[in-house]
Amino acid sequence: MSNLEELGARIRELRRAAKMSQADLAGDGLSPSYISLLEAGKRTPTERVVEQIAHRLGCDPKLLLSLLEQVRTEDTEVELRYAEIVLRNGDAPQALTAYTELQARAAQAGHDQVAAQAELGIAQALELSGRLEEAVTRYERLRTDPRLSQADTTRLPIVVALCRCYRELGDLSHAIELAEATLADVQRLGIVPTVLGMELLSTLIGLHSERGDLHRAGYLATVGIEQAQAVRDPKALGAIYWNASLVAYRRGDSESALALVQRALAIYAEGENERALARLRNGYAAVLLQSDTPDVAQAKELLRQSAETLEVHGSSVDRAYCATAMARAELLAENAGAAVEHARRALELLGPGHRLETARTLLVLAAGLLELGDAAGARDAYERGALTLEASGADRQAAFAWAELAEIMERSGENDRAVWAYQQGMRCLGQRGHLLPRRVEPAAPSA
């Protein structure tokens, strides 16, 4: 019996004990049919109606109001579950609406805990919508919100979400500082490895790899694999393998990267998270394209599957990552026109917020434009991409972008500008004595 049915049964019991009919209880302002539906558990009364009925039954209103409060709690739990399912299915606008309406009702009723949970859902929906700066504002408030428990079960997911947002906004340094400080807190408290701890560690591995600190990223990946096996959670182990493949990928070890991402793919394929599986296929495709003998056909098939899934379960940003990866595949297939088309679509989907991925997409666009003979367009895209990567703290990726720009300028006879671009690249790597190799750094196989 639900709480609403219990409230209805209690009213019916009290009415019969008072030897009243439904028409007697209805009186002024309420119809007998409403009383019938109420007793059947098919109507949720207001506090005022409950007090009115209690007065007519001659009982203490608190008796029925306590049952009404249980009904509201049950309704809230149903609404929360609904919003969570909508968000998990990738419908960010509908989830945002559901959480916002729930938060307003919870705040009006004085349910602070529910209002805080709805606030977290709003932040997640904003992130999924690509409204990262708004999401960060809400996540930061929640990180110290007294309405939420500051235990790891509540705090760590918020920290991980913040790190994701800061990464996409192009602030790798702040994301790493936050993740490292939180990891140090967890270790200082002597908390045994948990699934949430693995998620934080996975995020940190990806952040260090993005910034080019492959030594720290590699060490954390080794620790993470050991700890993930200890907690015996497939999702945790899959996430660690995923980010460990990123480290190997950045080091140029395509063989190890491929083995690790295949392990992650096998684990994710056994789950029910279609969006995560599609995003991992993007990463798998990126490794295939970066290997010594690129398998363009298989990569394009993986990306085709990913695109189909993300049209249903993904956000516009998810689809942008897939489009950029497809642009890289088309470049390797010598289809520069198609590559440029995919890259421009990705930039449109990304919007102004996702600066790090925007920078990498600009580099793909530049390479495609160069193949089409648009040297001026390529120079502009390379410079914008390099500056954005450098501002994000992704110095290693920025260095390669500057090197690409330098070579374009050199071929165009702009020798002074070419030297300047080489110097920018060497400065990013802290080097002064030699030129950089020619290489376009592709996107990492990250979530």
Residue 265 sits in a domain of what CATH number? 1.25.40.10
Domain end call among 15, 48, 72:
72
**Total Cβ atoms within 10 A of residue 365:** 27
pLDDT by residue, tens only, the chain of 447 residues: 566 677 788 888 888 888 888 888 887 778 888 888 888 887 777 778 878 888 888 888 887 777 666 656 666 777 888 888 888 877 888 999 999 988 888 887 777 778 888 999 999 999 988 888 999 999 999 988 877 665 556 788 899 999 999 988 888 899 999 999 998 888 777 666 788 888 889 899 989 988 888 899 999 998 888 888 777 778 788 888 888 888 887 787 878 888 888 888 888 887 777 888 888 888 889 888 877 788 999 999 999 999 999 988 888 888 999 999 999 999 999 999 999 999 999 999 988 778 888 888 998 899 899 899 998 898 899 888 888 887 777 777 777 778 877 877 777 778 888 888 888 888 777 654 443 333 444 444 444
**Cα angle vertex 68, ends 66, 72, to 5°?**
115
Total of domains in the chain: 2
DSSP state, residue 130: T
Q: Are residues 158 and 260 in the same domain?
A: yes
* Residue 337 placed within a domain: no
Check residue 413 and give left, alpha or beta (phi > 0: left; psi -120 to 50: alpha): left
Q: Are residues 160 and 264 in the same domain?
A: yes
Q: Of 237, 170, 176, which Cα lies nearest the Cα of 206? A: 176
* Residue 437 placed within a domain: no
Boundaries of domain holding 49: 3-72
Q: Are residues 155 and 266 in the same domain?
A: yes
Domain end call among 38, 72, 106:
72
**Total Cβ atoms within 10 A of residue 134:** 16
Domain end call among 40, 72, 104:
72
Torsion from C-alpha of 140, 146, 150, 154, nearest 10 degrees: -60
Give the pair of three-digit tokens for residue 442: 């592709």
